[in-house]
Amino acid sequence: MKWKYLFGSLLMAVLGATIALVAYTKIIETPVQTITRDSSSVEVRNAKAFLTSMEMQEGQIDFTYAAEQTVHAVVHVHIKATIGMQPDNPILEWFYGDKYSKPREVSGYGSGVIISGDGYIITNNHVIENAESVDVTLNDKRTFTAKVVGRDPSTDIALLKIKADNLPYIKYGDSEQLKLGEWVLAVGNPFNLTSTVTAGIVSAKGRNLDLIEGDYRIESFIQTDAALNMGNSGGALVNTKGLLVGITSAILSPSGAYSGNSFAIPVSIVRKVVDDLKEYGEVQRAIIGVNIRDINSDDADKENLGSLKGVMITGIVPDGAAGAAGLKENDIITKFDAVDVNSTSELQVQVGKHRPGDKATVTYLRKGKETTVPIVLKNVAGNTSVVTAEMNGEAVFGARLVTLSSDEKRDMSVDHGVKVTDISDGKFKDLGIKKGYIILSVNGKKVKSASEVRQFTNNESSLKSIGGIQSDGTVFSYQFGN
């Protein structure tokens, strides 16, 4: 009886093991995904790195189409500039000798995006801002000298033109239709490499990083986790259809290298700026005529708001468009042209689509009551005329000079001065003055505008002294005889 019991137990154990083995076999015969390894390998110390690939599974995103459509339309931008004669500085000359005062050539690089077959190229203003020459190398290794059609420091966009035809180019997409979590590709030339493609998702929209200076700056960056590094500036951010949705511009990093966050200027801003530069050579910027800030919790409590949405007006510009439309300080703008605006960057983007003289509508809250009014937008000069180069500065001694913005004055701890935004043949160029220099005084007198520079030099007939700040922050001062 005992023998029969032991035999039965042994039989059940064998049968159970057989069933388990069959079940395990069935499981491993149905892999979730297939991974294959290339036979190529690279020895790295004591470890091996293998090239791997994964078979496309149903539902996965395929980036190959977007990459093929865009990689040949992204270019390498190389700039050259000369650091000219330095002002007299006995201390530096004692340490560095004559090398300190001799002109020397410097260079930089970035990326650009071809937007038409006849050679128009978008890049960042900060890539070419101080360039004396700009060369563009296509993905097929051809190199062209580029002309700067125009640039806009307020949006960090510049437009170049090369003499070429039948070029591959990227078509515009719609950045306002981008959704959080949507896949995007960044195409550029990091570290002087040829066109490189990285992928990521849209992490956020409407980011304001306070990177751009000036009273009329527009910042509403698309944040992604696509890898960007030095040299990617001016490159393309495209969706999976290969359409341009942004111009890559910046990274947020403690080390200067990619750390997980990258930022692009939305094409909704870029397209308007580029169209203006092509047609007028200057951006036709529309101005509401208000000082604004985001809504905070104190505002919400005071105005009995249901949410922290909208933009608070903190000041009205005299004779501006907003004042003429009846807007007042402490009004809360909630919509512009029937589009919700929940932050200052969103309002700037919507206004930035317009030109001076355009008609729009503004919806605002005042003491709990919502009102919509028509508004006629104006330019920086306070009228509806076409903006010309003269409005953005006046030429004196061959240099185009503009009054410093309030932010620039604060950053440099000065209350006066003019900035050199462009330089051509003339007295200032002969002295070694460059774009980006700040002129604080001429002939011993402080200057606040280009007209004062002209006035204090007797209409450019007498220049005995000049002083200011160079692009690197050092002070310069020239004296000319008695």
Which residues does 58 contact at the CB level (< 8 Å), separation at least 6?
Answer: none
Q: Is the dihedral of CA 88, 92, 94, 100 positive or negative?
A: negative
Catalytic residue from among 152, 156, 276, 331: 156
Cα(438)–Cα(128) distance, integer angstroms: 18
Catalytic residue among 111, 220, 233, 262: 233
What is residue 254's DSSP assignment?
A: S
What's the number of CA atoms in the CB half-sphere (13 Å) around residue 139?
Answer: 20
Burial of 414 (0-12, 13-18, 19+ CB in 10 A): middle
| Gap between the Cα atoms of 300 and 280, Å rounded | 43
C-alpha radius of gyration, the chain, whole number: 30
DSSP secondary structure string, 311-376?
Answer: EEEEEE-TT-HHHHTT--TT-EEEEETTEE--SHHHHHHHHHT--TT-EEEEEEEETTEEEEEEEE
Q: Which two tokens stand for residue 157?
A: 């966009």
Please say if 358 is a catalytic residue.
no
From the candidates 76, 78, 126, 354, give the one annotated as an active-site residue: 126
First to last CA, the chain: 130
Which helix (H) or strand (E) is 16 found in, with range? helix 2-28
354 is catalytic: no
The reply to whether 156 belongs to the active site is yes
What are the distances in angstroms from CA 232 to CA 79, 121, 146, 425?
14, 15, 18, 33
Annotated catalytic residues are 126, 156, 233
